[in-house]
């Protein structure tokens, strides 16, 4: 049931894709509540609809039917332009492959989301420095992604995700491309973001160790939450 402090509420959500004319139902009649400030892990076999669900919560896609309410906004009724603006203010993304821009330094990568705000250059720099300090990489500001390890790249990506002070961080297999040590560092950092900064985190993962770090573990199979 939806509660007043739910940051994510999905009601009877269905998502259908089409392969040619053949409909493929990925999510069917799905209900979900994610309380504000929680750290949730979503697990499930490949093809179960994890990424689809994550995309709906992040406002990257719309449901075929049902309502997706995130941080007080009904995403099902928003235009592409409205969704883009909403994402820039509400969501922080962490991807499996880090997805940093190789021609930009760590600081410039972190600064990217701030270019969509009205902040001046000096304010942007302060925020970037703070975000990089939170992830422990203030001394790597001027390094390019190729000069960083995988774990450091993912921490820069996390800094980029939090620099805008988003309400919710969505992470798609954030440890998938990392060794155990780096993965643990990243998970510890995410736990810190959740516990110390109060960020809501919704994470898709195949990694049971990663899921262990979350306060809530959910399983998705054949489009339905178990």
Partner 1 sequence: MNLATYARRNLFRRRGRTILTVLAVAVAVLIFSAIRTVGVTFNAAADDAMSDRLATRHKVSITMQLPRRYIDEVRAIPGVTGATAANWFGAKDPKERIPFFAGFAADDKWFDVFDDMKVDPAQLAEWKTTPSGVILGDILAKTFGVKPGDRLTITSDIYPGDWEFKVVGIYMPQRRTVDRNSLILHWEYLNNDPRAELTKDQIGWVMTRIGGGVKSADMSRTIDKIFDERDDQTVTMSERAFNLSFIGAFAAVLTAFDLVSIVILLIMMLILANTIAMSVRERTNEYGVLRAIGFPPRHIVGFILAESLLVAFVGGLVGIGLVQVLINMGIGPFIEANMASMFPYFRTPPSVMLTALGLALALGLLAGVLPARGASRLRVTDALRRTD
CA distance 191 to 210: 10
- Helix or strand or coil: residue 108? helix
Q: Is 20 in the site for partner 1 (CB under 8 A)?
A: no
- Helix or strand or coil: residue 93? strand
Q: Is 141 in the site for partner 1 (CB under 8 A)?
A: no
Q: Which residues contact 93 (CB under 8 A, 6 or more apart)?
A: 58, 160, 161, 169, 170, 171, 172
Tell me the helix, strand and coil percentages in the chain, rounded to 5: 40, 30, 30
Query: Contact region for partner 1 (CB under 8 A) — 23-31, 77-85, 134-142, 177-185?
Result: 77-85
CA distance 195 to 66: 32
Among 11, 16, 31, 60, binds partner 1 (CB under 8 A): 60
Query: Contact region for partner 1 (CB under 8 A) — 20-28, 57-65, 69-77, 145-153?
Result: 57-65
Among 25, 85, 192, 219, binds partner 1 (CB under 8 A): 85
Q: Is 160 in the site for partner 1 (CB under 8 A)?
A: yes
Q: Are 90 and 167 in contact (CB under 8 A)?
A: yes
CB of 102: closest distance to partner 1 in angstroms? Answer: 8
Question: 213 or 223: whose CB is closer to partner 1?
Answer: 223
Q: Is 153 in the site for partner 1 (CB under 8 A)?
A: no
Q: Is 99 in the site for partner 1 (CB under 8 A)?
A: yes
Among 19, 22, 103, 120, binds partner 1 (CB under 8 A): 103
Cβ of 198: how many Cβ atoms within 10 Å?
A: 10
Q: Are 215 and 36 in contact (CB under 8 A)?
A: no
Q: Is 81 in the site for partner 1 (CB under 8 A)?
A: yes
Q: Is 102 in the site for partner 1 (CB under 8 A)?
A: yes
Identify any residues that bridge with 225 across adjacent strands, giving them in sequence order. 220
Binding site for partner 1 (CB under 8 A): 55, 58, 60-61, 80-81, 84-85, 87-89, 91, 93, 95, 97, 99, 101-104, 108, 111-113, 115-116, 160
């Amino acid at each position: 049931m939806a509660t007043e402090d739910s940051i994510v509420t999905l009601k009877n959500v269905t998502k259908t894709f089409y392969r040619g004319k053949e409909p493929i139902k990925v999510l069917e009649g799905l209900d979900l509540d994610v309380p504000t400030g929680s750290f949730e892990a979503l697990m499930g076999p490949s093809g179960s609809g994890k990424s689809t669900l994550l995309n709906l919560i992040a406002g990257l896609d719309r449901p075929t039917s049902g309502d997706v309410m995130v941080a007080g906004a009904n995403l099902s009724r928003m235009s592409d332009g409205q969704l883009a603006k909403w994402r820039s203010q509400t969501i922080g993304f962490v991807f499996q492959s880090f997805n940093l821009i190789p021609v930009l330094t760590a600081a410039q990568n972190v600064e990217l989301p701030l270019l969509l705000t009205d902040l001046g250059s000096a304010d942007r720099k302060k925020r970037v420095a703070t975000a990089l300090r939170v992830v422990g990489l203030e001394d790597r500001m001027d390094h390019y992604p190729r000069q960083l390890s995988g774990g450091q790249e993912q921490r820069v990506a996390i800094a980029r995700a939090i620099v805008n002070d988003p309400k919710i961080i969505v992470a798609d297999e954030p440890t998938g491309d990392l060794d155990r040590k780096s993965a643990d560092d990243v998970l510890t950092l995410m736990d810190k973001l959740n516990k110390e900064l109060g960020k809501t985190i919704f994470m898709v993962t195949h990694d049971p160790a990663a899921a262990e770090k979350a306060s809530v573990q959910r399983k998705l199979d054949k489009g339905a939450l178990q």
